[in-house]
Every structure is written in C-alpha cells, then in structure tokens.
Amino acid sequence: MAREFRKIIRIDEEKCNGCGLCAAACHEGAIDIIDGKAKLVREHFCDGLGDCLPSCPMGAISFEEREAETYDEAAVKESQRKKGEKAMNSAEHMHTSGGCPGSRVRTMKAEPQETLLTTPAKPVSRLAQWPVQIKLVPVNAPFFDGAKLLIAADCTAYAYGNFHEEFMKGKVTLIGCPKLDAVDYTDKLTQIIQNNNIQSVTILRMEVPCCGGIRNAAQAALRASGKFIPWQVVTISTDGKIID
C-alpha cells in the first residue's frame, strides 16, 4: 500500500477513556475501540480532517505530520457500502423471515381527537411506530415516507418530563446510545435519510459529553445524504431542562 508524508490524527492512549465518541464521529471507520482504548487501526481510512477531534471529551486526539498510508477514498466508500448492505440484509432477514417478534415493523394508530379532548388528565403515548431502536429499525420501513424524524438519546425520555408531547408528537422516533451500543449509527442514519422522503430532523441529546456521539452521527448522516433537510439539535440537562 502506498505511503506518504501527511497530516493524520494521533491518539494519546493515556488520556483516552474509551468512550467511543471518536469512533462514532469518524464516518470513514478509521478508529476502533480495542481493550478499552481508541486506536487508529486503518491509516488509509483517515482523511486527516479531524472530525473526531471535537468529539473527544478527554483531549486525547491531536494532529501530527508523519509518514502514513495514503488516504484511500475508494476503499472507504466500498467499506461503507458493505456495511450498509450488511445492515439492510440483516434487518430485512429479521423482518421477513420471522426473527424477533419484538422488532417487527408496526405503525401505530393515533388516538381519535375526541378521545384526547375527553381525557385531558390521562397522558397519551405519542409513539407512532415500532421498532424505535436505531439498531433494529429497517432503513426502508414504510413509516419513514414523509416523516418528521426525531433522533433521540435513550436518556432524554427519562430526563425530560414532557418528552412525548413536545418532541415525539407527530414524528417518527429513533432512539439509541452510541456508548452502550458501541456502534457508529452514521451509516444506518444516512441510508434512512437517503432512501426516504424525510421532512425534518430533530436531534435530542443529553448534556453529558458521551451523548455527543448521537449528535455527531446524525449530523454526519445529514451531510452524507446530500439532501438539504431542516434540522435542529436540542440539549437536555441532567435535571430535565432544555438548555439549548
């Protein structure tokens, strides 16, 4: 493989806490978490632009100039394509051949308006579809057509009391935690946005640093999709307040 003297990232493993945010932010897939530490495992996947730098809460990532494998854009795109196909095939197999009953696609029927008006004291679920986990949802699910998309970190629903009415109502909801799932959602979200008529995207995250991974994945997916879609990021504090 060709090598050249170029700018590339450097990871200080002594500072690294293994949160995985850098791996989630690197949509090329150059970084893996190995034995609890982030490692640059594919030099030829690193474009030297440093999307991973701002995601690191420990300041463990920097740039350096050194001899490294030449950035291979074609290899990156092929890897992303294979990941996308694998995710799609896995989801389609699960949903067409039985699979887990808990991950079968469903569209919920909204409560009639007159019912809502006569029971004002009873909270109403605004969940419009199933499944809700980013890892489980098929990229071509029918409920994505014309949808307003809510991409939310798991904890936001527990931290913010009016989550259903203010954020879920009228939207298709996807939830995940990149730290616990240990996966980069970028490819999956890119396919969802590219393959469907998404009207808008709301990204809901907690204020804690590790929650930046879901924001980074959603923003990277929006960029990679090549579409111009209205989007916003909302941050929830750990005591349940909207802080920006």
SS3 labels along the chain: CCEEEEEEEEECCCCCCCCCHHHHHCCCCCEEEECCEEEECCHHHCCCCCCCHHHCCCCCEEEEEEEEECCCHHHHHHHHHHHHHHHHHHHHHHHHCCCCHHHCCEECCCCCHHHHHHCCCCCCCCCCEECCECCCCCCCCHHHCCCEEEEEECCHHHHCCCHHHHHHCCCEEEEECHHHHCCCCHHHHHHHHHHCCCCEEEEEEECCHHHHHHHHHHHHHHHHHCCCCCEEEEEECCCCCECC
C-alpha atoms less than 13 angstroms from C-alpha of 19 in its C-beta half-sphere: 22
- Model's pTM, two decimal places? 0.58
Cα 84 to Cα 164, 189, 204, distances in angstroms:
31, 10, 24
For residue 187, give the amino acid letter.
Answer: D
pLDDT at position 109 = 64
pLDDT at position 163 = 96
Chain-centroid distance, C-alpha 72: 24
| Strand partners of residue 175 | 133, 152
pLDDT at position 7 = 92
CA–CA dist 231, 156 (Å, integer): 18
Digitized pLDDT (tens) for each residue of the chain, 244 residues in all: 788 999 999 999 999 988 888 888 888 889 998 888 999 999 999 988 887 887 788 889 999 999 999 999 889 888 877 776 665 555 555 554 555 555 566 666 665 655 555 555 678 899 999 999 998 888 888 899 999 999 999 999 999 999 999 999 999 999 999 888 778 899 999 999 999 999 999 999 999 888 888 999 999 999 999 999 999 999 999 999 999 7
- Sequence-distant (6+) residues with CB within 8 A of 36 are 18
Nearest to 86 by CA among 169, 200, 183, 159: 183
CA–CA dist 29, 79 (Å, integer): 8
pLDDT at position 94 = 52
Is the bond leading into 120 cis (omega within 30 degrees of zero)? Answer: no
CA Rg value for the chain: 20
pLDDT at position 98 = 52
